[in-house]
Amino acid sequence: QKGIDPSICAWMTTNLERDPNVSSGFRFKFDLKIIHDILADFPRQDFIKILRDVSLSKEKIGSQMNIVRAGKNESWTNQILRELLEIEESCKAFRTHVLHNSGHWVHVDDLEGLLGIMHESLNELKRK
């Protein structure tokens, strides 16, 4: 096992296919060059601007955008959290939620909490 969580191992197997060039071998289904390109491009994206723009458009049509934040994910910098709070304070259509005991995979780490957020959000839409 070497310290890899079994759920991650199980997920990784969904990305494998038999390698026709090796009798008992496997290979990844996805194109590693594309993955590399995506990862290289990621820091250049302005996701806060996208969230702000989409939230404003949602507000215009009476819809809502919910962001679920994994509380154990250390990628949420103070700057990002401040910007999310600014969007939430300035736009009624934008809400953030935190699953404090969740890592990257919120649906695995806190499915009940995630379903609770979804249920609450759907009920709010239903009341409108």
Residues with Cβ within 8 Å of 19's Cβ and at least 6 positions away in sequence, in order, are 25, 26, 27
What is d(CA 51, CA 32) in angstroms, rounded to the nearest whole number?
Answer: 28
Say how far apart CA 96 and CA 66 lie, in whole Å.
6
Whole-structure pTM over 0.85, yes or no?
Answer: no
Residue 108's pLDDT is what?
A: 87
pLDDT reading at 1 higher than 60: no
The Cα–Cα gap between 99 and 113 comes to 7
Domains contained in the chain, CATH given: 6-41 (no CATH), 46-127 (3.40.50)
Task: Kindly report the backbone phi and psi dihedral angles of residue 84, in degrees, each rounded to the nearest multiple of 5, phi listed first.
Answer: -65, -40
- Give whichever of 51-55, 73-77, 99-103 has the largest mean pLDDT: 99-103
Mean pLDDT of all residues in 86-102: 92
3-state secondary structure of 16: strand
Residue 25 CB coordination number (10 Å): 10
| C-alpha span between 102 and 110 (Å, rounded) | 6
Contact 76, 38 (CB under 8 A): no
**pLDDT digit string, tens, across residues 15-54:** 899 999 888 888 888 888 998 999 999 889 888 998 988 8
What confidence score (pLDDT) does residue 120 get? 92
**Facing residues of 95 across strands?**
66
